[in-house]
Structure 1
Amino acid sequence: MIRELRHVLLFVGLIQITTLIVAASEPQVPCYFVFGDSFVDAGNCNANRFYRANYPPYGIDFPDGATGRYTNARTFADIIGELVGFPKFIPPFVNRTTEDIKTGVNYACGMDGIYPHWGNLLLGRTSLGTQVGEHERDITRLPDLQINNTTRTYEQEYLKKCIYLVNIGTYDLMYHVFGFRTSVAVDSYGRDLERLYSMGARKVAVFGLSKIGCSPEFRNRNNGNCIERTNEQVSDFNDELKNKVGTLNSRYSDARFTFISVANISQSQEDAPVPAYPCCEINRQGMCVPNSSPCVDRSSSFFYDGLHPTEIINKIIATRAYNADDEMYAYPYNISRLAQD
């Protein structure tokens, strides 16, 4: 990761150039939908009393301040939206309008997980299945926007051109660490992806987990050392999820599911000194202490709080996901290819 950080300025330059190119024309796809947890949340979790990010120092580098994004500025979902050509950030579900549904909605929320019973375990949070259900209700309003007529067939003709991004699973593993069953989680995940397919989704980017066992949150539990058991579970989950993506592509020949390896993009977190320390002062939950002062040089920090990356790392993740030509990062397609097909 040290090598990655040394090349950050190059990545940033590429992102800025690409963004200028795509911003000059229409978006590459008609709409963009985001599902997941706090890594891609854009402000859906602000009602959570214990695990929210709509206060400083979150958003210190974001134009609208602390909106509920768990980082200092943009998430990688935000940046991918820019690379695909959307001139504005995709709005969170809680603030969406009927017109927004035509171009995209962000359904991701803080501690949401894969398991359907998730909301009964942690502070009323919900599951990926709930988010997919919210999306299903939203797309029934598409005919009212006069995109096409009221038949399901034409509705799907529109949606199959859109990009779907899904990033979830971290909290399932974190809070079921001794009872986490990879096959059960991935099977549930796969069923929700198939539900999206049944609604019209054909271009779906599925993001794997990062090595959270080396995050400050986990290092604090292990005298500053990575928790390798957790990283092994992450690796097993990612392998099975990648296989699930392959299965879905074989099952649905008209679809383009792709797996984005965040762990490979991030590379050896456990060997780099930078990731061990959060940029902001954190509390017992691993969140930034309200109104505390974060590190000055946020461009050289990996983690912003105890778990979530800084914007500079989100830029690396987004750029690799969008244009990677190596299957170790994006398999079997990068997001640019999804947008073009």
Structure 2
Amino acid sequence: MNFRVFFVCSFFVFIILNHGFSMAQMVPAVYVFGDSLVDVGNNNYLPLSIAKANHRHYGVDFVNQKPTGRFSNGKNAADFIGEKLGLATSPPYLSLISKGNKNENNVSFMNGVSFASAGAGIFDGTDQRYRQSLPLGKQVEYYSNVYEDLTREMGESALQKHLSKSIFVVVIGSNDLIGYFESSEVRKKNTPQEYVDSMLFSLKLQLQRLYANGGRKFEIAGVGVVGCCPAFRLKNQTECVVETNYWSVQYNKGLQSMLKEWQAENEGIIYSYFDTYAAMSDLIQNPTVHGFTDVKSACCGLGELNARAPCLPVSKLCPTRQNHVFWDQYHPTEATSQIFVDRIFSGPSIYTSPINMRQLVAPEVS
């Protein structure tokens, strides 16, 4: 064998053996927590849930044009994050435990897992209108089970090293805000500020649980322009609902303050915050720059703005998905998600702070 070829091959083997993943991978694993914006199929394994993206319109632009449990016409943000990091999409946790092979599961757990669930919120019970989902507390509980299994399999020291280089993605909060503004009962019990403060307090507790079980590098997204989703525009003569957007902004401001405080209280935390609100506002205000022609209506739905009903098998489907910012009443199209993840990964600082994901995974911040 040519010496140069031998050296290169040996170097790659050295990297894989000593770091546990190839140079194409930027991190060993991605652990995903959140709602339908990043759910890749967990809800398909919840028998009582009515929040399932399992019919023909969902996945119309996905591989083989098959529905996969993603609330999108194709890929969602979780898929694009995996691609950016040189990894396959983290599989749904419930799909892994349903297979029942513990040894195979532990290998999968090492490579990353998604706990995200459509309808999930920071609060338990936020998902009641969907009958069943995995609220954030349950997702973190499942992660704790994974952590215990991997500790037994790998040992504490090796696992800590593995997790310290992995990325923990958290995309949650929209369902809590939607639930607040759609429930007169909840609004009677809490002012908007009290509710937002409680969201932040509860989220911090769950993040601390992840930190206690090895999480060190976090990608955390704020909530988007909730009041401009087709479902909310429908209630306001096709215009954005100002009050809902105002409290989305207030929550995001509180989230950024909480993350700074949380980082200061714990050694070794590195995080990147993504301002989903700013990124979505840009698409809505400057659609043609990004190739969009429709920022108000859903691509899949019925009635005015295609938002009178969820995306159903009988729904009207827009012919050109790439032109729409929104796929259904609440969710972005694949095209929108890809733009978001490009900004999550590379910035600029108007959307990511204090660093972007590219900086988050860099060796010097390990």
Pick the TM interval, shorter chain.
Answer: 0.7 to 0.9
Conserved in 2, the CA contact under 8 Å of 1:286 and 1:307?
no
Query: SS state of the match for residue 295, structure 2?
Result: helix
Please state if 1:35 is matched with 2:49.
Answer: no
SS at match of 2:327: coil
Aligned equivalent of 1:302: 325
Once residues 298 and 129 of structure 2 are traced to their aligned partners in structure 1, the CA distance between those partners, rounded to angstroms, is 27
Does residue 54 (structure 1) correspond to residue 76 (structure 2)? The answer is no
More deviation in 311-320 or 247-256? 247-256
Superposition deviation, residue 281 in structure 1: 2.0
Alpha-carbon deviation of 1:293? 5.0
Which one is further off, 239-248 or 46-55?
Answer: 46-55
1:175-254 equivalences in 2 (<5 Å): 175-177=179-181, 178=187, 179=190, 180=192, 181-254=195-268
Q: Per the alignment, do residues 284 and 265 of structure 1 end up closer, same or farther by CA in structure 2, a change over 3 Å counting?
A: closer
Unaligned runs of 5+ in 2: 1-20, 97-104, 182-186, 288-292
Moved over 6 A (4+): none
Indicate the residue corresponding to 2:18 in structure 1. Answer: none
CA distance in 1, matches of 2:85, 2:231: 33
Which shows bigger deviation, 47-56 or 244-253?
47-56
**Would you say the 8 A contact 1:132–1:195 is kept in 2?**
yes
Give the aligned partner of residue 73 of structure 1.
74
Match runs of 1:5-154 below 5 Å = 25-46=23-44, 47=46, 48-63=48-63, 65-86=66-87, 88-96=88-96, 97-118=105-126, 123-143=131-151, 145=153, 148-149=154-155, 152-154=156-158
Change in CA separation of 1:49 and 1:157 when aligned onto 2, cut-off 3 Å: closer
The 3 A distance-change label for structure 1 pair 157 and 243 is same
Q: Over residues 276-329 of structure 1, what are the superposed CA-to-partner deviations in whole Å (9 max), with x where a residue is unaligned?
A: 1111124877421215452221111100101100011000000100011x3221
Alpha-carbon distance in structure 2 between the residues aligned to 1:33 and 1:258: 15
Q: Partner residue of 2:100?
A: none
* Distance in 1 (alpha carbons) for counterparts of 2:294 and 2:245: 18
Which amino acid in structure 2 is aligned with residue 317 of structure 1?
F
Give 1:339's aligned residue: 361
| Greater alpha carbon shift after TM alignment, 105-114 vs 39-48 | 39-48
1:168-205 deviation per Cα after TM superposition (whole angstroms, max 9, x unaligned) = 11111111123451111011001111111110100001
1:34 is paired with a residue whose SS is: strand
Equivalent position of 2:3 in the other structure? none
Q: Distance in 1 between matches of 2:228 and 2:283?
A: 7
Percent of residue pairs identical:
28
Distance 2:322 2:129 in 1: 36
Whichever residue aligns with residue 335 of structure 1, its letter is M
How big is the shift at 1:249?
Answer: 1.9
Q: Is the Cα–Cα contact under 8 Å of residues 119 and 126 in structure 2 kept in the other structure?
A: no
Post-superposition offset of 1:163: 0.3
Residue identity opposite 1:330 in structure 2: T
- Say which one has the larger Rg: 2
Q: In 1, distance between residues paired with 2:338 and 2:200? A: 27
* Farther off after superposition, 262-271 or 223-232: 262-271
Shift of 1:125: 2.8
> Corresponding residue for 2:343?
320
**Kept after mapping to 2: 8 A contact 1:42/1:92:** yes
Check 1:243–1:165 CA distance in 2 against 1; reply closer, same or farther (3 A cut): same
Distance in 2 (CA, whole Å) between partners of 1:111 and 1:120 is: 8
> For structure 1, which runs of at least 5 residues remain unmatched after alignment?
1-22
Instruction: Return the TM-score normalized by structure 2.
Output: 0.80
- Write the letter of the residue equivalent to 1:76: A
Could you tell me how far 1:251 is from its partner in structure 2? Answer: 1.6
Q: How many residues align?
A: 313
**Secondary structure of the equivalent of 2:218?**
strand
TM-score calculated relative to the size of structure 1? 0.86
